Amino acid sequence: MPLRICLLPLALCLLPSLPLLAEDATRPGEVTTPYPTITNLSVEWKIQGDDNLNGVVSVWYRAVGDGEWRAGLPLRRIPAGNSGDRTTPTFYWDNRHSGSIFDVRPNTEYEIRLRLEDPDGGSAERVVRARTRGVPKPAAGARVQKVNPTDFKEASAAARPGDVLLLTPGYYGAFTAAVDGEPGKPIVIRGQRDGPLGSTFDSVSLRNRKHVILENLTVYGAVDLLGAEEVAVRHCSIHAQYGIIAVREPGAKNCYIADNTITWVMPWYPAGMGASSLYGGPGNVGEGIQITGPGNVICHNRVKGFRDCISTMEDRGTYEQYSIDIYNNDIEVGADDGIEADFCQGNCRVLRNRLTNCFMGLSSQPSLGGPTYFIRNAMYNITEAPFKFTRGSGGNVVLHNTAVKVGDGLRVPHGPGQYSRSMFRNNLCLGGAGGGRLGRYSSGPGHALATPETDPTNDFDYNGVGTVGTPFLIQIGPRRFSSPEEARATVALRHLVAVDLRVFEGVEFPNPAVPERKIADLRLRAGSAAIDAGLRLANINDGYRGAAPDLGAYEFGQAPPHYGPRPAGVDEETAWKR
């Protein structure tokens, strides 16, 4: 073999055998605001460099025309990555800063000011605009047609953009919508009730439909939204093993699922919990709301008696799961997950939900890059864990949640793949006696905080934890602390607060976890250790009372949010006008 001779300088000849040099300075790229929802905005700032991950992006926002800027949470630093062979196709995400602006006014244009600071170089500022969506509503001056079961098929096929079909009570069978509305002129299919009798369907398909609103229907089968865009399903009563679904590519886009009651018959008993149906156990099946796709809003629904009550899609069913809102839902009896935000790809927001009698509370298995937000959710009688972050989940932001359960309190269970880059702040979690085995799973022995599979990038400061009837113990990875004082002596847990059941007023500890427990009021008791013990978080707890924010889902002295269906005529836009 002839000898290869390098005629270039020696340093260049050696390049293939040397590691690439790190690029710690930031090179700012494009800022985007993908899929604004009704009350929240997503912000993405692509970058190159910053290999040491120390760049920070501060956020301010204001409605266009307002004078005062308000601070938001800083964006989260998201290293580039991909979903590998877990999804089809493989999803890739850029090196970026990413985050959300929460609880803004519907149908309003906002200015967003961003300041990137990197001590290694590349600092920059940007100002962008984004507009929230309005709540779907009938067109002004819409033509209203009264329709009965006999003429409904013909009338629905002939409907024009802006029409309202007012259905008499009766049986309408299975329905597949065949025509679209237009922006600002949706086709509205509105049911009525006459005593116990409503406008009743076996199933409804809105596949590939655009700008259609379903209201006040009773459905004893699935409502299928696959391929739907700008569709609303609200104030409906659905009783089915699979309630509202869009379970593969292209999913649903910018849909609004609000104020529905969705029920099935999955019972609350140990042998049916978790993934038991995969291992020869009882038929643990059924999904209340299960959709994939971007920009969807799932809010103020009451969901009870399913395997998973509200879920995005997993593995190869996943499709563009970002900029999704799941808020103010009232959830009972989720034999596997109360809310399963699995395979979210950035700015999924799980806010102010109430969960009672669920095996897992909130699942992020995994978060693909992040951020995935879990904020002010109240959980009672969660048997396995309030937070399931497995399969390499990264970028979870866990703020102001409350959980009361048997076994371990603030528990992130064992699972394949460590989770990373997750931040826990101002949560209030209480565990204790009655844990151990439930079916083929475990609630844990009753630790205050238990997260054996963590890595150094996760942050657990400023949380309140405790136990009822078991010794106080914390496990974070291989480290164990047998008292609050021992934990607070470390930098990582310097602001930890120890609590017990007296932090609440009249709450019964849910031991045993079976049979079902009634919904509990998890507001704080006056004088409790959780009051004024939290960390100030811009755009999250701005309205706190006292010297500092309180721990948990509720600020002392403030009314709790409304969970589940709202009265007719109440929505996000009317709430802002009050």
Give phi and psi for 92, each to the nearest 5: -115, 140
Each of the 578 residues of the chain gets a pLDDT tens digit; together they read: 333 333 334 333 344 443 456 899 999 999 999 999 999 999 999 999 999 999 999 999 999 999 899 999 999 999 999 998 888 889 999 999 999 999 999 999 999 999 999 999 999 999 999 999 999 999 999 999 999 999 999 999 999 999 999 999 999 999 999 999 999 999 999 999 887 889 999 999 999 999 999 999 999 999 999 999 999 999 999 999 999 999 999 999 999 999 999 999 998 988 788 876 544 445 678 999 999 999 999 999 999 999 999 999 999 899 999 999 999 999 999 999 999 999 999 999 999 999 999 999 999 999 999 999 999 999 999 999 999 999 999 999 999 999 999 999 999 987 778 899 999 999 999 999 998 887 678 899 999 999 998 999 999 999 999 999 999 999 999 999 999 999 999 999 999 999 999 999 999 999 999 999 999 999 999 999 999 999 999 999 999 999 999 999 999 999 999 999 999 999 999 998 77
CA dist 102 and 154 (Å) reads 43
Beta-carbon-side half-sphere exposure of residue 535 (alpha carbons within 13 Å): 20
Supply the DSSP string of 130-177, one letter for each residue: EEPPPPP-PPTT--EEEE-TTTHHHHHHT--TT-EEEEPSEE--EEE-
Query: What is each CA distance from 395 to 36, 69, 99, 265, 536, in whole angstroms?
Result: 20, 27, 10, 35, 20
Question: Which pLDDT belongs to residue 16?
Answer: 44
Give the other-Cβ count within 10 Å of 283's Cβ: 11
Give Cα 486 distance to the centre of its chain. 34
pLDDT of residue 408: 97
- Fold classification of 26-131 is Immunoglobulin-like (2.60.40)
Residue 569 to residue 211: CA distance in whole angstroms: 20
Length, in residues, of the chain: 578
Give the global pTM: 0.95
Beta bridge partners of 409: none
pLDDT at residue 439, as a whole number: 67
Three-state SS at 531: coil
Q: In b/e form, how buried is each residue of 468-499, taking b as 16+ CB within 10 angstroms?
A: bebebbbbbeeeebeebeebbeeeebeebbbb
Query: What's the pLDDT at 20?
Result: 52
Q: Give the pLDDT score at 95.
A: 97
Residues 204, 219 contacting (CB under 8 angstroms):
yes
Question: Which residue in this structure is represented by tokens 């500022």?
Answer: 125
Residue 188 near residue 140, CB atoms below 8 Å? no
Domain 136-352 is of which CATH architecture?
3 Solenoid (2.160)
Instruction: State how far the Cα of 9 lies from the Cα of 18, in Å rounded to an integer.
Output: 15
* pLDDT score for 34: 98
Say if strands 81-82 and 197-201 run parallel, antiparallel, or are unpaired. Answer: unpaired
> Tokens for 315?
């593995």
Judge contact between 355 and 382, C-beta under 8 A: yes
Query: Could you state, in order of their start, the residue ranges of all structural domains in the chain?
Result: 26-131, 136-352, 369-537+547-560
Amino acid at 17: S
Asked if the domains at 26-131 and 136-352 fall in one CATH topology, the answer is no
Decide: 415 and 388 in contact? Cβ < 8 Å. Answer: yes
